[in-house]
Chains A and B, each alone.
Chain A
Amino acid sequence: MRVYPWIDRYVAEVGRMLPEGKRVDVEREIRSLLQDAVEGQAAGMEPSDNQTLAILRQFGSPREIAMRYGASQYVIGPLLYPTFITVLRVVVGIVLAVNLFTVVLAVAQSATAPNLLGIAAGVVNSVLQAAIWVTVVFALLERLNLRELNQLNQTWDPRALPAVGDVDRVSVVETIFTVIFNSIFMVLVAFNLDSQGRFGVPGSDWASSAIFSAAFMAYLPWLIALLAADMVLAVAALIRGRWTAVLRMLAIGSNLISVALCWLMLAGPSLAAWPELNLIFDIIVAVVLVVNVVEAAQHVWRLWRNRS
């Protein structure tokens, strides 16, 4: 049996981009088709590399072939792309602005010559983390969206159209606002806050004095998880175009956990490292608690109204 190294490379490259379920079968088929074409071209002679390469060129680029055999074309598709770009710009812009402000403070307060290279690396790292975080969330949503689209029934029922002024319809502006606010908060607390509750630029030798107490820092993983859940639910609702019963129930769950967390934070030890900030932090947590109670109540009321 003849060996075709160029065909092996081509098939492997196409296979890399195909969904796992059909990869082996499509690879086998493309290999067989290419071998037929190469041998047909050589007409009984030993095919040359140039003949094989010409056939591969004629077939088209591995990406194009993979797409035609059902590979996903996009990391983030046209449905989510405009929202993705808006969110990316705002999140990266704000994270960059906060970091630059911190750098100015660092330079102004430092008695010794600041390590500018370290600071610049820290700022770049923080901005990159923000961009990567937003991209990963949107890429995951794209995968979820594709899977759901593939499962959609081909027959479309106009009676399923939502009424004009439907309260279940998702507000794009509200979703973008949620994603932007949550991403910025998550990136700043995850990358610019150290374990002692001090704010600084990662990689630089400067940090503010502690702002948050050890008690607040213990709540941080929960806060990040809840913000991530809130963001994913908001975008999932945006993709569906409306708040479904399941999404509402998940949102109620997230709201109730947030209420419990806020309650614990208010009842527990002080959240701020400076006593002067205690009242402000408590007020912020109380406002978040009230917002979550109102949101949960809204979801419950709309669920109940849709059922009755």
Chain B
Amino acid sequence: MVNDFPTTLVYENLASELRRGLLVLAVLAECDVPQYGYLLKQSLSQRGLDIPEGTLYPLLRRLEEQGLLVSQWQLADESRPRRYYQISAQGQTALAQLTSEWHHLSRSLNDLLSPKE
């Protein structure tokens, strides 16, 4: 049976699923210095990781609830407060483990995806 579900939509869903898993690693790595949401989004975007606001910002809170990030409100210009997030000690440990896992996975997948002889 031919599945007429639009191929681009299937691709977009799969690609977004693939990126979602890596997002935590990217955020933890980028929060080695205090970052507020908008700035973090910009810096990830400049590195080629364009993450929707609705995904990135709630993730910051979730990571804080899990103890991997810490946050504090600081007054920015025009007396507007911004919430700055930074990686915690527990987050550093998780980042090191996730990085090692990423390298392992990356090697395995590169091997799997390389042209077979």
Contact = CB atoms under 8 A, between A and B. Distances in A.
A232 interface: no
Given A1-B79, A33-B53, A69 B61 contact: yes
A7 to B, nearest CB: 12
A51 interface: no
B53 A37 contact: yes
Q: SS class of chain B's interface: helix, strand, loop or mixed?
A: helix
A29 B53 contact: no
A81 interface: no
- Max count, chain B CB within 10 A of own CB: residue among A2, A32, A35, A65: A32
Contacts of A40: 38, 42
Interface string B72-106: 01000011111100000000000000000000000
Given A1-B80, A35-B80, A60-B52, A30 B38 contact: no
Interface in A29-67: 29-30, 32-33, 35-37, 40, 58-60, 64-65
B58 interface: yes
B37 interface: yes
A69 B58 contact: yes
Interface in B28-61: 36-39, 42, 52-55, 57-58, 61
B81 A32 contact: yes
Q: Give the size range of A's interface with the partner.
A: 20 to 34
Contact of A33 (B38, B42, B52, B55): B38
Contacts of B83: 28-29, 32
Q: SS class of chain A's interface: helix, strand, loop or mixed?
A: helix
B38 A37 contact: yes
A65 B54 contact: yes
A28 B81 CA distance: 9
B37 to A, nearest CB: 5
A37 B54 CA distance: 13
B78 A33 contact: no
Nearest to B81: A32
Nearest to A40: B38
Pick the 6 closest A-B CB pairs, nearest first.
A36-B38, A68-B58, A60-B54, A33-B37, A59-B53, A69-B58
Interface of A: 1-2, 26, 28-30, 32-33, 35-37, 40, 58-60, 64-65, 68-70
8 contacts: A1-B78, A28-B73, A32-B36, A37-B38, A40-B42, A58-B52, A59-B53, A69-B61
